[in-house]
Amino acid sequence: MQLSREDLLQAYRRMKTIRDFEELLHDEIQTGEIAGFTHLYCGQEAVAVGVCEHLTDDDKIVSTHRGHGHCLAKGCDVTGMMKEIWGSREGLCKGKGGSMHIADTDKGMLGANGIVGAGAPIAVGAAMAAKLDGKDADGKLRVAIAFSGDGACNQGTTFEAMNMAVVTNAPAIIVFENNHYSEHTGYKYAVGTKQDIASRAEAFGMKVWRADGTDFTAVYETMREVLEHVRAGNGPAAVEFDTERFYGHFEGDPQRYRGEGEMDRIRAERDCIKNFRKTVTEAKLLEGSDLDKVDEEVAKTIADAVAAARAADRPTAEDVLTDVYIDY
């Protein structure tokens, strides 16, 4: 199904926003202004956007420690996120979530998560709730998606969540982003299946899909099929997207586990944004000038967000216990 010009521009804008957001953090983290670990999503933008372009605010997602891209793709506010990462009390989570725990329930973003494999059980719980809520006016179920990786696919929490999803026939989707490394270990060594990560889900009885995660169109069309299957009440599903990350596991990772010339090859051949531009311009779907204009607008959005984050109020001593305890 061919996307409209407006839809293509929106997809590009979201991918470029994620890329510029992360590239800026790559530079700013070295200044010491941002506290805590940061895990960048550069290179994987087509997955987050290709998945989330199908979703509404009523659909839920749960992210990982590498969660900025998922947040932005789901519609979280750029400035609110930047303020959160800068530790401001004006951030999406009042400065208490930081890079690895950003959430915005109004957008159906149930949170990034610093614990590997912790997202799948939350997503399955949300999917069970969606099943109880029943189908919407169009006769479709709302869904809950857990973004996962080649590290989380080995966790017992993920196994139990997949089994629970199958047993309860919950409208849950496990999106495995295979960026080839679990922290610093190659997935071919660390994942003990003969085929791939998706075969983990097949073992639990899920229907699975596989696609190139560096090709936005492939991601988008694959997710259309996955969502049609799950929204119709056919039970949970899983999909594996083969993708790449451009930076280390965390900022400061020397990446000595990479092969010689590996990063040069990845950036030259598997850059999802570069490939998107080439595809849509060669097919005469968009002009290069259209995309250049988006680039300029995104650059301004990111610059404005950083300025706002630097100027935003910092937490006070009185903020320490707010949103921690609740009275019943």
Whether 319 is in a domain gets the answer no
In a domain, 237, yes or no: yes
Q: What is the pLDDT of residue 2?
A: 82
Per-position pLDDT tens, the chain of length 328: 689 999 999 999 999 999 999 999 999 988 888 888 899 999 999 999 999 999 999 999 999 999 999 999 999 999 999 999 999 999 999 999 999 999 999 999 999 998 999 999 999 999 999 999 999 988 999 999 999 988 888 889 999 999 999 999 999 999 999 998 888 888 777 787 877 899 989 999 999 999 999 999 999 999 999 999 999 999 999 999 999 999 988 888 888 888 899 989 999 999 999 999 999 999 999 999 999 999 999 999 999 999 999 999 999 999 988 888 888 8
CA separation for the pair 177, 308 (Å, rounded): 32
Which CATH number goes with the domain that contains 278? 3.40.50.970
pLDDT attached to residue 104: 96
Does residue 328 lie within any of the structural domains? no
- The answer as to whether 232 is a domain residue is yes
298: in domain = yes
Number of domains in the chain: 1
The predicted pLDDT at position 36 comes to 82
Task: Name the amino acid, one letter, at 11.
Answer: A
- Does 169 map to a domain? yes
Please check whether residue 163 lies inside any domain of the structure.
Answer: yes
- φ/ψ bin of 98: left (φ > 0), alpha (ψ from -120 to 50), beta (otherwise): left
Q: Do 305 and 82 touch, CB atoms closer than 8 A?
A: yes
**Is 321 part of a structural domain of the chain?**
no
Where does the chain have alpha helices with state H? 5-28, 45-52, 68-73, 78-85, 119-133, 156-168, 187-190, 198-203, 216-231, 262-269, 272-282, 288-311
Cβ count near 212 (within 10 Å) = 17
Q: Which domain holds residue 139?
A: 5-314
For 220-232, letters b (16+ CB in 10 Å) and e give: bebbeebbebbbe
Q: What is the reported pLDDT for 1?
A: 64
The reported pLDDT for the residue numbered 8 is: 98
